Amino acid sequence: MDIDAESLSLIQRKQSLYVSQDERFLLGLQKYKGQQYSHIYFFRLYKMREQFRSLINHQHPNLPVHTVLGLEVGKQCIIVGTLYKQMKLKPSVLDEYSKERSAVPLVKPHNFLHPDDHLILEDESGRVKLIGDVVKPSDYVTGVVLAVHGEETSDGDFLVHKIVEAGLPPQIKIPQEAKEDKYVAFVSGLSVGSIKSNPLQIQLLVDLLTGHLGDDKEQNVASQITRIVIAGNSVELQQGLLAGQSLASKDQSKLSEPIKEFDLLLTQLAAAMPVDIMPGPHDPANYSLPQQPLHKCLFPGASAYNTFVSSPNPHSFYLDDVGFLGTSGQNIDDLAKYSEAKEKLDFMERTLRWRHLAPTAPDTLGCYPFTDRDPFVVESCPHVYFVGNQNKYGTQLLKGSEGQLARLISIPRFCETGVAVMLNLRNLECHPLSFSCET
Amino acid sequence: MMNKKRLATNPASVPPQSKKRTEEEDVIDEMDEDVFVEETLLLREEEDLLYQDSGLSARLSKWKRPQLSPQFSPHSTSIVFQQLEIDYVIGESHRQLLPQASGPVAILRIFGVTKEGHSVCCHVHGFQPYFYISCPDGMGPDDISRFHQILEGRMRDANRSSKAPRFILRIDLVQKRSIMYYQERKSHAFLKIVVALPTMVASCRGILERGLQIDGLGLKSFTTYESNVLFALRFMIDCKVVGGNWIELPAGQYQKTARSISYCQLEVDCLYTVLISHAPDGEFSKMAPFRILSFDIECAGRKGLFPEPSHDPVIQVANLVTLQGEDRPLIRNVMTLKSCSPIVGVDVMSFDTEREVLLAWRDFIREIDPDIIIGYNICKFDLPYLIERAEALKITEFPILGRIRNSRVRIKDTTFSSRQYGTRESKEVAIEGRVQFDLLQVMQRDYKLSSYSLNSVSAHFLGEQKEDVHHSIISDLQNGNSETRRRLAVYCLKDAYLPQRLLDKLMFIYNYVEMARVTGVPISFLLARGQSIKVLSQLLRKAKEKDLVIPNVKGQGSGQDTFEGATVLEAKSGFYENPIATLDFASLYPSIMMAYNLCYCTLVMPDDIRKFNLLPECVNKSPSGETFVKPTLQKGILPEILEELLAARKRAKADLKEAKDPFERAVLDGRQLALKISANSVYGFTGATVAQLPCLEISSSVTSYGRQMIEHTKRLVEERFKTLGGYKTDAEVIYGDTDSVMVQFGVPTVEEAMALGREAAEYICGTFTKPIKLEFEKVYYPYLLISKKRYAGLLWTNPEKFDKMDTKGIETVRRDNCLLVKNLVNECLHKILIDRDIPGAVQYVKNTISDLLMNRMDLSLLVITKGLTKTGDDYAVKAAHVELAERMRKRDAATAPTVGDRVPYVIIKAAKGAKAYERSEDPIFVLENNIPIDPQYYLENQISKPLLRIFEPILKNASRELLHGSHTRAVSISTPSNSGIMKFAKKQLTCIGCKTPIRNSEQTLCNHCKGREVELYNRTVANVSELEMLFGRLWTECQRCQGSLHQDVLCTSRDCPIFYRRKKAQKDLAEAELQLDRWQF
C-alpha cells in the first residue's frame, strides 16, 4: 500500500507496569519423591487458623477456641478445622477394581451430590461430625477450612450454631485513582485445532486487539489495551494420539499442527502487545495444579518476543498496582461437581470468602503434594479475580466488609461463544467483546 | 455346699499338654465333661483383686447393667429371660429343693438376659442323665433289680477313684420302639438307666456294649440307645427348650441363690419341672437387649517375627459394646500401654504397665458383663494370646473372664474336621456364661471367598477397604510418642468396629439365633460343631414325641462306603444363541423324602419283606432297590420333620411379607433361611458315613429317585415337544444337573421359551408324586455351556429385561489366580453374553495378551497371593510363596512375611529351566528394580486354560487364534536396574525421539529429530499429565480410607487392589518427570 506515513497520526499503544506474583505457583526443582498430601492440609489449616484467630478474638471474645479433642458435651465453643464431606456418590478409583462390572453401564451424574451427604470437621487432633441446619452440606466441599461456633451433643456430634465468617481477605488499596482508561483483554478456550473453533473468528479477535481492524476510533480503543491474558485451553490435541506407543508420520504432524497454527496467532499478538498465556486442562501441560508454564519450545515464533509471558495456572500479577488472580477454570468446575450454587459466579465468590482458591485440591482436584506451603490460600484479596473456560460470560463486583473491592469475571469459552472480555483498569468496569462471522 | 475338688480339670493340676480332640462330624469323642466347682476359689479374695484403681472403677461403674427394680421379690415376680448358653457343673444337691437327694449331682446353668437387660443365671436342679437299652426277652421286674446290682458293681470297679456314693440311680422298664427299620409291633420293652453324673453315661455304655455276665442269660452285650446325647442337649430336649428361646420362672417357684457364685444380677435356683419354655412366637420371637462386646488387641512383635505371647507385650485393647437392636455402640474405649492422645468419642485409658492393661480389661469385662463376645479371629488369636500372655507375666488373677466368680478360663486345642468345612485347627477358650462368636469362623463357614482377611471381607460385604498396618510398623508406632500411639489406637478401634458392622450388615445375630431356635441346639453349638448335631437334635425331639429311641451306632466303618451320587445328564457343550429354559425341582431332596416316605422307621429290612407279608401297594421300592412302607402303615419321622420345616418356612415367608417392623423382619428372614438350610441338611445327615445315625439306604434311595426324575423329565420333554405334536421345533435337553434340566425349545424369543417352559413344568409336574414340584423359573439367553458344572449365561425371569449374568464353575473367584484372570474372564463373558460381540471379545483377549507381552500390564493384576501356613522346612514340596518368604527374610528380616501372613508374589523372568518356585518375587521389589516379569508364565499357566474353556465352544481353533496369533509376536521386556550384567553397563542418554545415543548431555533430541520437537514434547508432557492424575486419585483415595486428611498414609494392605498401583504411580511419575526435565534447556 502506498500511504504516506506522515499523513497518519501514529497511534501509540498505552503501557502498564507489570509485576508478576507467580513465584508461589512455580515448582522449580521440586519433584515427586514420595511426598503425601497431609502436609498441604496441614499448612492450609495452620495458615487459616492464624487468620481466624484475630477474627474470633474480635467477634467472639468470650468464647473459648477448642480442638476437636477438647470438646466437652454441652459446652459452647469455637472449633477451627478442615472440612471433609462424606459423599455417597463420590466416584472412587477403587470402583475400577473391586466392583463387579455391572450389566448396565452407569450413567455419570453431572454432579455427585446426594441428600445423605454430611460434613465432618477435622483438625490435627481428630474428627467430629457437624450437624444442624446452619451448615448445608451442599454448599461446602472437602478441604475448606472453617471456624464454627456450637457445642458437642451427647451423641458425640457437633451442633453448629453459627459459622464464623472469614469474609474477603484483606486488600491492599489501589494507591491512586488512575485517570486514563486502560484495558486488559481476557480470552479463554480458543481451542485451535478443534472442530468447534473458527479460524476466521480468532483472526478477527487478533486483528482487533493488534489494531488492524476498523477506523481511527476503533484503533484508538485498541491502543488502550495494554495486555491480553489467555486463560487456558488454547489448543486442542487429538486425545487418542497421545496414548499409543509409536506414531505414523502423518499422525506426528497432527500433534504439532494446531500448536504451529496457534504460534502464528500468538506471534501476531506478541509483536503488538504483552501477552500472558496460561495453560488449561487441554493444553500440552501437566495435569496437577498449579499447572506449570507452557514450554517455550512449543512456540518458537512468539517466544522470540519479550512481550510473550508463559505463566502458570493459577496466575497472579499486578498491573499498574491493580492485583489480578485467576485460573483456567478447573477449581470452579470441580466445585460445581461436588457442591451446588445458582451460578458459577457464586462459586467464585465462595472461594474468595473461604480465602482459598481451590479447596477441593488435592481431594478431587489434582494437585502437587507441597510440603512447605499451600499456594492456594488467598492471603490478600485480588482486585480482579478471573476464571477461564466457563459456559457464559458473567461478572460481579464484590464488596467486602472492610471496603475490599473485587471484580469477578467468568470468561466464556471463545470457540463456543465468540466472546472475549475487556476490563478497564481505571474503574474495574468490564464488558464483553463479541465476535461473530456468519458464512 | 459345693464339692471342694475340681476333679477333672482343675487348671492348676491339668497336665500342660492340651487335649487334642478330633471332631469327625462331631461324633465319637463328643462327650460330657464334668466340671466340679471348687469352693476354695469362692473365698472373698476377689475384693482384693478388683478395683486397684479407683479412677478406673468409677469409669467402669457407669457402664453397669440397669439396676434391678427394688420391688423385685422371688415370691411375687416371675423372671422371663432369653437364654443364650446352657451348661452344667457338678455340685452338691440342693437341700431345700431336693431334700431326699445326696452326693454330687449335675446342676444345669442357664445364662440369659431379661427384656429389661438384667443378666440371669439360673441353676436348674433335679434333672438326671439317662439312656436306654432294649430289655432282654424274659427279664422281669425282679431281674431288673438284680441287673441293677450287677451294673452298679461293674461301674464301681471301673471308676475306683470316684467318691460317688451311687452310680446307677435307678432302672425303669419303659415301652419304646427303636427308630431303625419298619416294625409291626408298636412297642417293645426298654430299660431306662438313670445314672448319677453325666460322664457315667459313657462309662456305663462302655460296660454294656462290651457285655456283662447276667445270671440265667449268660454274657450279654447290649445296644444302647440315646447314650451319646450331651447332657445339656438332653435337658433341652426333655424340657422343650430350644436354643435362644425365652424361659419363664414363675413367681414363687424359684429361690434366690443363698450364696451367689456368679456375677449375674439375678442368680436363682429351681427344679427343672417348673421351667416354662416359650415357643419363639409373637412376643417371644423378639430379642433381648444382649450386650455384645467386639474387641481387638494389638501386640508389639519383634522385627521379623509374628508376635508370641511368651515375648511380645499386648499394647492395646480396643472395645466396642453394643446393645442388640441399637445401631450406635454404647461404649467405645481403648486401653493402651503408655500414654495415648485422646480420640473423639472414645474413652482412652492409658496405663504404665502391661499388667494394668490386662487387669483393666478383665475388670471391664466383669463390669459391662457382655453376653456375646465377638471379634475377628478372637478364638484363635486374641483370646488365647491374652491368656497366654497373662500366664507368661504370671498374672494369675487375669483369666477370670467368665460369669462364674473366680473361675479361670482354660484353653484347649481342638481340631474340627467335617466333610463340609474341611479340617480346621483352633483353640477353644471356654468363657463360662458368655457366647463367643468369631466372625472369621462364621465367614469361613458361611461364605466361599477368595480371601478371609478382615480387609477383603469388609471390602466384599461393606464395600470399603480397610487400612492395614503391617505388624512390623506397630512396634515403631508404639515406641513413638502419644500421637503415634493414638494413630495405632484409631487403627485398633477400627478393627474392633468392623466385626460389629459385619454382624449387623449380615444379620448374624438374627440368623444364628433363629437357626438355634429352629434346630433346637444352643447357639454355641452352631459355630463349634458340624451340621449333624442340628439334625440329630430335631430327630431326638421328634422321636421323643413318638416314643421312639435312637440307637447309638458306632461310626459305620471307615467312611469309604460310598453310593452313587447325583449324576448329571451329559452336557452338550456349545454356545446357544437361542433361549434355554430351565426347569427346576424345588427342594428336590426334601420333597423326595416326603413323597416316598423315606425314613429310618419306614425302611423295611430285606428279610422282613416276606416275613411281614407286605402288600405291594403298601410299599415303595426305590430305584436303588430299597423298600419303604407307605404312610398308611407308618408315617416317617424324617418326612414329618421336613413337612414341619417347610410349612414353617412358608409361614415365615408369608409373615415376612406382612411384617413392617425392621426387627421383626430380620427375625423372620433369619428364620426362613434357617428353615431352608435345615431342610436341606436332613439328607446329608443320612448320608454322612461317620455321623450319628448314617443310613445309606435312605440317602442312596434319595439320589436314585433324583436321577430317575431328571431322566423322566428329559424323556417327557423330548417326547412331547416335537414338531409331530404341533410344536415349531423339536425340543432338546442339553444339560441336566442335580435338580434342574436345561431345555432348548428351539424358539427364538425369551417370551416363547417362557411359555413353553411353563407348559412343560406344569405338564411334567402332574406326573410326580406330591409334594415333588417341578418349576419353571428362568431362561438363559444366550447360554454358554462349557462342560458339566461349568456354564455361563444371561438369566431372564421376565421377557423384558435380563436379571443378571449367571456363571458357574468358571474362574472368577478362585483365590490362587491373579486378578488378570478374573478381569479377563469377566470382561470376555460380558462381551460375549451381554454385548453379543464375539469379535470384540476376541480382540479384547488379543489386546490383553499383547499388553502382557509388551510389558504394559498393571502389576497389581499379576500378583498371586498365597497364605504362608508353616515355615519352609515343613512343606514337602517347594512352593513359590514359601521360597520367596525365605529369600525375603534374607534380604530384610523385618518386613519379610511370617507364618500366618499372606505372601503376594509375581513370577519373573529367569534363566531357562529355572523352576517356577525359584522365579517368584516380591511385587514391591519388582517395581523398585524394574525386574522383568515372565509373560509366558502368565500366558500358559494362568490365562490360557480359562480362556480356552470359554472360547472353545465358540471359536474354531481357539487356541491358535487367541494364543498364537500375530499379536503375540511383539515382545518387550523391561531392563532390570540392579541385577546381573546391568551393573556393569554404562548409562548413556538417548534421543527421546529415536533412541539414538547422544554425545552432548545438554541435548534432548538428535539432529534428525529436531523437527519433531513439538510432537515429542507433547507426548512427554501427556505422559506426566496422565500419571499426575493417577497419582492424585490413588493417594487421596487412601487418605479417605484412613479417615484423616492431616496424617500420612501408612497402610500396607497388600490385599487392597490399589496398593501396588499407588506405589507404581509414585515411581513412574518420578521417572516421567526426569524425562520432562530433559527439555529444560
pLDDT digits (tens, 9 = 90+) for B313-342: 999 999 999 998 888 888 899 999 998 888
Q: Does the beta-carbon distance from A127 to B1043 stay under 8 Å?
A: yes
For B302, the 3-state DSSP assignment is: coil
Q: Which of B341, B1015, B1073 sits opposite A256 (nearest CB)?
A: B1015
Say whether residue B995 is in contact with chain A using an 8 A CB cutoff: no
Say whether residue B1018 is in contact with chain A using an 8 A CB cutoff: yes
Q: Which candidate in B327, B1018, B1052 is best for mutational testing of the A interface (most A CBs within 10 A)? A: B1018
Low-confidence ranges of chain A (pLDDT < 70): 1-9, 95-109, 177-178, 239-252, 438-439
Confidence at residue B872, expressed as pLDDT on a 0 to 100 scale: 54
Q: Do the domains spanning B291-506 and B810-963 agree at the CATH topology level?
A: no
β-pair partners for B627: B604, B621
Per CATH, the number for B291-506 is 3.30.420.10
- Please give the model's pTM, rounded to 2 decimal places: 0.73
Render the burial of B800-838: b for 16+ CB within 10 Å, e for the rest: eebeebbbeebbbeeeebbbbbbbbbbbbbbbbbeeeee
Confidence band, pLDDT 50/70/90 cuts, at residue B937? confident
Whether B687 and B598 have beta carbons less than 8 Å apart is answered as: no
Q: Which candidate in A27, A33, A36 is best for mutational testing of the B interface (most B CBs within 10 A)? A: A36
Confidence at residue B419, expressed as pLDDT on a 0 to 100 scale: 52
Q: Does the beta-carbon distance from B1039 to A38 stay under 8 Å?
A: yes
Say whether residue B1032 is in contact with chain A using an 8 A CB cutoff: yes
Shortest distance between the Cα of A154 and any Cα of chain B, in A, equals 10
Complex ipTM? 0.88
For A231, the 3-state DSSP assignment is: strand
Burial class of B212 by CB neighbour count within 10 A (0 to 12, 13 to 18, 19+): middle
Shortest distance between the Cα of A359 and any Cα of chain B, in A, equals 13
Q: Which of B1039, B1046, B1069 sits opposite A42 (nearest CB)?
A: B1046
Question: Is the peptide bond prior to B771 cis by the omega test (within 30 degrees of 0)?
Answer: yes
Is the predicted pLDDT of residue B14 greater than 50, yes or no? no
Distance CA B238, CA B520 (A): 11
Q: Which of B854, B1025, B1079 sits opposite A295 (nearest CB)?
A: B1079
- B632: its cell numbers: 398308611
Is the predicted pLDDT of residue B41 greater than 50, yes or no? no
Q: Does the beta-carbon distance from A37 to B1045 stay under 8 Å?
A: yes
Whether B115 and B288 have beta carbons less than 8 Å apart is answered as: yes
> Average pLDDT, stretch B414-429?
61
Q: B73-287, which class in CATH?
A: mainly beta
Confidence band, pLDDT 50/70/90 cuts, at residue B12? very low
Q: Does the beta-carbon distance from A97 to B1035 stay under 8 Å?
A: no
Say whether residue B1034 is in contact with chain A using an 8 A CB cutoff: yes
Q: Does the beta-carbon distance from A288 to B1032 stay under 8 Å?
A: yes
pLDDT in tens, A85-135: 888 777 777 766 554 444 444 455 677 888 888 888 888 877 888 888 888
Q: Which of A37, A103, A252 sits opposite B1035 (nearest CB)?
A: A37
Shortest distance between the Cα of B295 and any Cα of chain A, in A, equals 21
Shortest distance between the Cα of A314 and any Cα of chain B, in A, equals 17
Confidence at residue B110, expressed as pLDDT on a 0 to 100 scale: 94
Question: Is the peptide bond prior to B165 cis by the omega test (within 30 degrees of 0)?
Answer: no
Confidence at residue B289, expressed as pLDDT on a 0 to 100 scale: 92
User: Mean pLDDT of all residues in chain B?
Assistant: 81
Chain B residues with CB under 8 Å of A295 CB are 1017, 1021, 1079
At a CB cut-off of 8 Å and minimum separation 6, what does B866 contact? Answer: B816, B879, B880, B881, B902, B903, B905
Shortest distance between the Cα of A127 and any Cα of chain B, in A, equals 7
Of B178-187, B527-536, B983-992, the poorest mean pLDDT is in B983-992
> Average pLDDT, stretch B57-64?
77
Confidence band, pLDDT 50/70/90 cuts, at residue B262? confident
Confidence at residue B894, expressed as pLDDT on a 0 to 100 scale: 63
Whether B226 and B552 have beta carbons less than 8 Å apart is answered as: yes
Q: Which of B1032, B1048, B1057 sits opposite A97 (nearest CB)?
A: B1057
Fold classification of B810-963 is: Topoisomerase I; Chain A, domain 4 (1.10.132)
Confidence band, pLDDT 50/70/90 cuts, at residue B979? low
Measured between CA atoms, the residue of chain A closest to residue B460 is: A98
Q: For B592, what's the count of Cα atoms within 13 Å in the CB-facing half-sphere?
A: 24
Chain A residues with CB under 8 Å of B463 CB are 98
Element (H, E) at A330: helix A330-338
Give the alpha-carbon dihedral of B1074, B1075, B1077, B1080, to 10 degrees.
Answer: 160
Q: Does the beta-carbon distance from B1021 to A94 stay under 8 Å?
A: no
Say whether residue B800 is in contact with chain A using an 8 A CB cutoff: no
Q: Does the beta-carbon distance from A126 to B343 stay under 8 Å?
A: yes
∠ CA(B63), CA(B66), CA(B68), 5° rounding?
Answer: 145
Chain B residues with CB under 8 Å of A260 CB are 1014
Say whether residue B465 is in contact with chain A using an 8 A CB cutoff: yes
Whether B147 and B133 have beta carbons less than 8 Å apart is answered as: no
Element (H, E) at B24: strand B22-24
Confidence at residue A245, expressed as pLDDT on a 0 to 100 scale: 47
Measured between CA atoms, the residue of chain A closest to residue B827 is: A101
Query: How many Cβ pairs closer than 8 A exist between chain A and B?
Result: 153
Residue ranges covered by each domain of chain B: 73-287, 291-506, 810-963, 987-1077
pLDDT in tens, B582-613: 888 888 888 999 999 999 888 888 888 888 88
Shortest distance between the Cα of A404 and any Cα of chain B, in A, equals 32
Return the top range by mean pLDDT from B37-46, B77-86, B855-864, B892-901.
Answer: B77-86
Say whether residue B711 is in contact with chain A using an 8 A CB cutoff: no
Shortest distance between the Cα of A351 and any Cα of chain B, in A, equals 20
Give the alpha-carbon dihedral of A11, A16, A20, A21, to 10 degrees.
Answer: -140
pLDDT in tens, B718-763: 888 888 877 888 888 888 887 888 888 888 888 888 888 888 888 8
Q: Give percent of chain B above pLDDT 90.
A: 12
pLDDT in tens, B344-370: 778 889 999 999 999 999 989 988 899
> Average pLDDT, stretch B423-430?
68
**Three-class SS of B893-953:** CCCCCCCCCEEEEEEECCCCCCCHHHHEECHHHHHHHCCCECHHHHHHHHHHHHHHHHHCC
Whether A110 and A189 have beta carbons less than 8 Å apart is answered as: no
Provide the strand spans (E) within A224-272: 225-231
Distance CA A386, CA B197 (A): 90
